[in-house]
Homo-oligomer: A and B are copies of this chain.
Amino acid sequence: MSQSDRTPRVRLVDVARAAGVSKTTVSDALNGAGRLPAATREHVQKVARSLGYRPNAAARLLRAGHTRLLGVAAREYVETPWVYADLAYFSQIVTATTQAALAHGYGVVLLPTYGPDDCWLDIPLDGVFVIDPVEGDPMVRDFLAAGVPVVSDRRALAEVAGEARAAGGWVDFDYDAAVRQVLDHLEEAGAERIAVVAGATTACYHQQSVRAYHDWCAERGHDPRIVCLPAPGVEQTLQAVTELLAAPVPPDALFTLVELSTPLLLDTIRRLGRSVPGDLLLVCATEDPAAPYTDPPISTLGFLPGETAQAAVDLLVDRLEGRDGDPGRLFSAGFQVRASSAPKSSLKRPGH
């Protein structure tokens, strides 16, 4: 059905007939292959053009055995009809994946995160990049079982028994180290009561960072001050911040692990009567490009979407093209310290 019943597409044989040659000749003439006399080649090309011939992509795929198509899936909100591009982090991942893939001559397919079981297997993909897989991710399992190389984090791949090495590669993020780095920094800067706003999803990013915070607190005998949001949203996020700051003994530092507009967060904190960094040290895990331009500039923890995507695609393409590169790469976050988390001591002692 579809367009074919309206305009019966011009096929290779049609061109061949019209040009008075065989299919082989047409194929060779159009693909630059073979050793044809220039005259024949040009003639065929002219006929093909005049007929509006376009090769059928699906047939080529079948013949070629590969599709030059890479899938990318962000699993953060697997259970909901949410789509990743709403978050700056995923947008940037998708952007970077697309660019990297293109550079290798591959296209990118956005994979559905929900829907009928293994519906994703109907898409002809050479490889897949699964970002932030959930525990025992069925998507990872399915693709691996189907023999489609997957790049994801180490743990997700390991769950599928040793096939990881052969079937793809991993791009892992040391969320634990990243979170601890920030918490340590805040503590050194004089913070004693660090509050956190995080997400409550099943994605390993949230799971692991929340756990890291709890562990860090436990090690010091601190009570965790954390709000976990089930979904992103300006209002809910600001509400969470308001709640945390309203505690009887208010926090003296805030670390956000959810997407939000950093200048807006700053405004909100001010409207609540706190100054940054005077009353409240602030660090945001975000890719918001506005962060360096606020007053004061905001310290950020960035998860390097660009680098991550680049590495994932490189890994995937290496496997696909038979090169045996690294088994994987471990990333740690990019922590940019700015004025919003300047040590309290530096305020008390003028000079440096």
Q: Which A residues fall within an 8 A CB radius of B?
A: 1-7, 9, 52, 54-62, 65-69, 81, 83-86, 91-92, 94-95, 98-99, 102, 107-112, 115, 121-126, 145-149, 166-167, 234-235, 238, 261-264, 266-268, 271, 288-290, 292-295, 319-322
A208 to chain B, nearest CB (A): 25
Most buried by B among A1, A55, A320: A1
Oligomer: number of copies:
2
A317 to chain B, nearest CB (A): 10
Q: Is the CB of B122 within 8 A of A112?
A: no
The contact of A321 among B1, B69, B126, B146, by CB within 8 Å, is B1
CA distance A238 to B3 in the complex (A): 48
Q: Is the CB of B54 within 8 A of A322?
A: no
A62 surroundings in chain B (CB, below 8 A): 56, 58-59, 61-62
CA distance A253 to B146 in the complex (A): 59
- Given the known inter-chain contacts A109-B69, A235-B293, please indicate yes or no for A92 contacting B98, CB distance below 8 A: no
Q: Is the CB of B107 within 8 A of A109?
A: yes
Q: Is the CB of B110 within 8 A of A52?
A: no
A320 surroundings in chain B (CB, below 8 A): 2-3
Q: Is the CB of A99 within 8 A of B124?
A: no
Can you list 23 A-B pairs, Cβ within 8 angstroms, ordered by A?
Answer: A1-B66, A1-B321, A3-B149, A3-B319, A52-B147, A57-B67, A57-B123, A58-B62, A58-B67, A58-B124, A61-B61, A69-B123, A81-B102, A85-B98, A86-B95, A107-B111, A124-B124, A234-B289, A235-B293, A261-B288, A263-B263, A264-B293, A267-B295
A60 to chain B, nearest CB (A): 7
A122 surroundings in chain B (CB, below 8 A): 57, 60, 68
A304 to chain B, nearest CB (A): 15
A149 to chain B, nearest CB (A): 6
Q: Is the CB of B1 within 8 A of A322?
A: yes
Q: Is the CB of A57 within 8 A of B238?
A: no
A202 to chain B, nearest CB (A): 20
Most buried by B among A102, A238, A295: A102
CA distance A321 to B2 in the complex (A): 5
Most buried by B among A9, A112, A295: A112
CA distance A66 to B99 in the complex (A): 27
Q: Is the CB of A238 within 8 A of B293?
A: yes
A55 surroundings in chain B (CB, below 8 A): 121
CA distance A112 to B102 in the complex (A): 7
A92 surroundings in chain B (CB, below 8 A): 85-86
A107 surroundings in chain B (CB, below 8 A): 109-112, 123
A124 surroundings in chain B (CB, below 8 A): 56-58, 61, 67, 124
A229 to chain B, nearest CB (A): 14
- Name the residue on B nearest A96 (C-beta): B83
Q: Is the CB of A294 within 8 A of B2?
A: no
A238 surroundings in chain B (CB, below 8 A): 293
